[in-house]
């Protein structure tokens, strides 16, 4: 954080962003892009901090992208806190905020689609939110084209999105390096998310079954379990104890292809999605990531796979729900 916060320059159109980036690049400065939908929290801040460390100039986009919301999602309900967001970006020393409206991104006559094919977009989030990754691919392609960034920063919490974006950036030769940053969690262990503000205290207590379920799977993995379905079942069992938690999927997949794994060799990704009330939450961690220990999360105990440890002594959450 900076003592003297300078407000980021606010850019409203892709053309303005492109011009700004070209100026920076012409001056020999490296450019970072951090795409967000706003309602910024500690997770976003970690991406910004990494971008500030690694690049000369940082632009954060704030755009609640209608194209990636599916019929089951509530676009209108998504939190919007632009003033607070800009204050946070100023405090973080961000140089520019790209804040377009939908018209600036998808003008009249807009007719272009961007679709990443394969299992990585058809499974899990892709299956439960049809069209979601088309919207993500479209907006990310537009942002990468406009920002001409050297690096773009994304969060591991949205691991499938990261895999889609990596594929897109590589296939389109955007020249932007995709950097994936570890998941940041609130003090109780829930992955920080803009959607968490919608949770009541009782809902939040049950939502903790997501990280706790992942932690249970991580403990099984550390104990030698290598069956993908058995590891998924360990997480599912925790969530199943929470009556109001509606689990959409728990899956153990290959980190890059997102193909389901019957057997884990050395590492795999476990992902969970669930609804509680009107709120949909996702969480994930990497099993066997010795080189990326901060990606693991273990509740209430030290673990060979994790360095982020929740407050010790907290017990299972569902017994306290209403």
Convert residues 193-222 into a mask of x (bound to ligand AMP by CB under 6 A) and - (unbound): xx----------------------------
Give the span between the Cα atoms of 266 and 287, in whole angstroms. Answer: 8
Q: Is the dihedral of CA 232, 234, 240, 246 positive or negative?
A: negative
Can residue 50 be called a binding residue for ligand AMP (CB under 6 A)? no
Nearer to ligand AMP, 21 or 194 (CB): 194
Q: Which of residues 157-196 bind ligand AMP (CB under 6 A)?
A: 157-158, 181, 183-184, 191-194
Convert residues 247-286 into a mask of x (bound to ligand AMP by CB under 6 A) and - (unbound): ----------------------------------------
Q: What is the DSSP string of 279-291?
A: EEEEEEEEET-TT
Nearer to ligand AMP, 44 or 57 (CB): 44
Contact assessment for residue 33 and residue 139, using Cβ atoms and an 8 Å cutoff: no
Nearer to ligand AMP, 194 or 317 (CB): 194
- Token digits of residue 17: 């962003």
CB of 100 to ligand AMP, least distance (A): 15
Can residue 138 be called a binding residue for ligand AMP (CB under 6 A)? no
**Of 191, 120, 196, 122, whose CA–CA distance to 162 is shortest?**
120
Q: Pick the catalytic residue: 44, 95, 132, 198?
A: 44
- Token digits of residue 43: 């997770």
Helix (H, G, I), strand (E, B), or coil: what is residue 90?
helix
CB of 235 to ligand AMP, least distance (A): 18
Can residue 47 be called a binding residue for ligand AMP (CB under 6 A)? yes
Contact assessment for residue 6 and residue 93, using Cβ atoms and an 8 Å cutoff: yes
- Token digits of residue 106: 């998808």
Nearer to ligand AMP, 43 or 228 (CB): 43
Q: Which residue from 31, 37, 97, 245 is in contact with ligand AMP, where contact means CB under 6 A?
A: 37
- Among this protein's residues, is 44 annotated catalytic? yes
The number of C-alpha atoms within 13 Å of 166 and in the hemisphere containing its C-beta is 16
Q: Which residue from 20, 21, 36, 121 is in contact with ligand AMP, where contact means CB under 6 A?
A: 36
Q: Which residue has the tokens 């990494």?
A: 50
- CB within 8 Å of 63: residues ≥ 6 apart: 35, 36, 37, 38, 98, 99, 100, 105, 139
CB of 287 to ligand AMP, least distance (A): 18
- The site for ligand AMP, by CB under 6 A, has a size of 17
- Strands 245-253 and 268-276 come out as antiparallel
DSSP state of 68: G
Can residue 44 be called a binding residue for ligand AMP (CB under 6 A)? yes
- Token digits of residue 55: 């690049």
Nearer to ligand AMP, 87 or 240 (CB): 87
Give the span between the Cα atoms of 297 and 279, in whole angstroms. Answer: 22
Give the span between the Cα atoms of 301 and 285, in whole angstroms. Answer: 16
Q: Which residue from 13, 30, 46, 81 is in contact with ligand AMP, where contact means CB under 6 A?
A: 46
- The window from 38-46, 217-225, 233-241, 272-280 that contacts ligand AMP (CB under 6 A) reads 38-46
Nearer to ligand AMP, 36 or 206 (CB): 36
Residues that bind ligand AMP (CB under 6 A): 36-37, 43-44, 46-47, 154-155, 157-158, 181, 183-184, 191-194
Q: Which residues are catalytic?
A: 44
């Amino acid at each position: 954080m900076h003592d003297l916060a300078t407000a980021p320059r606010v850019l409203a159109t892709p053309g303005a962003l492109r011009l700004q980036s070209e100026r920076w690049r012409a001056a020999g400065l490296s450019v970072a892009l951090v795409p967000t939908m706003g309602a910024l929290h500690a997770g976003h801040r970690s991406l910004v901090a990494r971008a500030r460390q690694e690049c000369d100039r940082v632009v954060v986009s704030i755009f609640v992208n209608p194209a990636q919301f599916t019929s089951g999602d509530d676009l209108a309900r998504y939190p919007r806190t632009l003033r607070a967001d800009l204050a946070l970006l100023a405090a973080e020393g961000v140089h520019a905020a790209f804040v377009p409206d939908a018209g600036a991104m998808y003008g009249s006559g807009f007719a272009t689609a961007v679709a990443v094919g394969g299992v990585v977009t058809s499974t899990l989030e892709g299956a439960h939110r049809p069209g979601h990754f088309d919207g993500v691919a479209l907006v990310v392609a537009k942002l990468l084209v406009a920002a001409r960034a050297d690096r773009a920063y994304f969060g591991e919490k949205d691991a499938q999105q990261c895999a889609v974006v990596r594929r897109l950036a590589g296939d389109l030769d955007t020249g932007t390096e995709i950097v994936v940053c570890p998941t940041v969690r609130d003090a109780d262990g829930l992955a920080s998310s803009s959607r968490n503000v919608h949770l009541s205290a009782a809902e939040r207590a049950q939502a903790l079954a997501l990280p706790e379920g992942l932690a249970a799977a991580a403990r099984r993995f550390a104990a030698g379990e290598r069956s993908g379905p058995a590891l998924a079942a360990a997480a599912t069992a925790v969530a199943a104890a929470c009556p109001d938690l509606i689990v959409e999927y728990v899956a153990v997949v290959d980190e890059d292809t997102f193909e389901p794994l019957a057997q884990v060799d050395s590492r795999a990704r476990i992902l969970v999605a669930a609804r509680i009330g009107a709120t949909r939450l996702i969480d994930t961690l990497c099993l066997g990531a010795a080189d990326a220990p901060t990606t693991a999360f273990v509740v209430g105990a030290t673990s060979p796979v994790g360095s982020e440890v929740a407050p010790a002594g907290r017990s299972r959450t569902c017994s306290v729900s209403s």
